[in-house]
Structure 1
Amino acid sequence: MADLRATIDHYYGIFLELLGKRKREKRGPTPIVPPVSVSGTTLITVIAIMTFLACLTIGGVSLVRTSAAQWQSQISREATIQIRPVEGQDMEAALAQAGRIASGFAGVTGTSIVDRAATARLLEPWLGTGLDIDELPVPRLVVVTIDEQNPPDFETLRSELQKNIPGASFDDHRTWVDRLVSMAHTTVLIGMGVLFLMLSATVLTVIFATRGAMAGNSHIIEVLHFIGAEARFVAREFEWHFFRTALKGACFGGAAALLVFLMISWWTSHNLATPEGDQAAAMFGSFAITREGYIGIAATIIIVSILTMLTSRLTVIRQLKDMDSISGSKD
Structure 2
Amino acid sequence: MKAKETPLLPVEDAREAALFFVVCALCFLAALAALSAKSTYGAARSWTAEVEGELTVSLPDVDRRAAEAARELIAKTDGVREARLLTKEEIDDLLEPSFGSRGLPESLPLPQLVAVTADPLAQFVGPNIERRLTEAGYVSAVDEHAEWAGDVRRVLGIARLVALTAVALLASTAVAVIAFATHAALLTRRDIVDVLHLAGARDKFIASLFERRFWLLGLRAGSVGALMSLGAAAAMIFAARSSGARSGLLPELSMDFYDLLILVLTPLIAGLAARLAARITVIRSLKSVM
Instruction: Structure 1 unaligned segments of length 5 or more: list them.
Output: 1-21, 325-331
Residue 64 of structure 1 corresponds to which residue in structure 2? 40
Residue 219 of structure 2 corresponds to which residue in structure 1? 247
For each residue in 1:168-214, what CA deviation from the matched residue of structure 2 results, as whole angstroms up to 9, or x when unmatched? 11111232111111111111100001101101110111011101110
**8 A Cα contact 2:211 2:275, kept in partner:** yes
Instruction: Structure 2 unaligned segments of length 5 or more: list them.
Output: none
Segments ≥4 residues shifted beyond 6 Å: none
Q: TM-score, normalised by structure 1?
A: 0.81
For each residue in 1:200-232, what CA deviation from the matched residue of structure 2 results, as whole angstroms up to 9, or x when unmatched? 110111011101110111011122124421111
- Using the alignment, how far apart are the partners of 1:128 and 1:263 within structure 2? 29
Identify which of 235, 245, 267 aligns with 1:278. Answer: 245
Residue 49 of structure 1 corresponds to which residue in structure 2? 25
- CA distance 1:181–1:115, shift in 2 (3 Å): same
Residue 272 of structure 2 corresponds to which residue in structure 1? 306
Over aligned residue pairs, what C-alpha RMSD do you find? 2.2
Residue 12 of structure 1 corresponds to which residue in structure 2? none
Which of 223-232 and 188-197 deviates more?
Answer: 223-232
Identify which of 189, 208, 230 aligns with 1:217. Answer: 189
Which of 50-59 and 115-124 deviates more?
Answer: 115-124
How many residues are aligned here? 290
Which of 292-301 and 124-133 deviates more?
Answer: 124-133
**8 A Cα contact 1:247 1:301, kept in partner:** yes
Q: What does residue range 1-331 of structure 1 map to in structure 2 within 5 Å?
A: 25-26=3-4, 28-32=5-9, 34-85=10-61, 90-131=62-103, 134-150=106-122, 153-267=125-239, 271=242, 276-279=243-246, 281-324=247-290
- Using the alignment, how far apart are the partners of 1:115 and 1:291 within structure 2? 42
SS of residue paired to 1:35: coil
SS of residue paired to 2:120: coil
- Using the alignment, how far apart are the partners of 2:99 and 2:28 within structure 1? 44
Q: Residue 282 of structure 1 aligns to which amino acid in structure 2?
A: G
How much identity, in percent, do the aligned residues show?
23
Deviation at 1:145, TM superposition (A): 1.2
- Using the alignment, how far apart are the partners of 1:230 and 1:296 within structure 2? 37
Q: TM-score, normalised by structure 2?
A: 0.91
- CA distance 1:167–1:29, shift in 2 (3 Å): same
- Using the alignment, how far apart are the partners of 1:291 and 1:150 within structure 2? 34
For each residue in 1:138-171, what CA deviation from the matched residue of structure 2 results, as whole angstroms up to 9, or x when unmatched? 2221110122244663322221123324321111
**Which protein has the larger Cα radius of gyration, Structure 1 or Structure 2?**
1
- Using the alignment, how far apart are the partners of 2:251 and 2:134 within structure 1? 37
- Using the alignment, how far apart are the partners of 1:177 and 1:103 within structure 2? 23
SS of residue paired to 1:320: helix
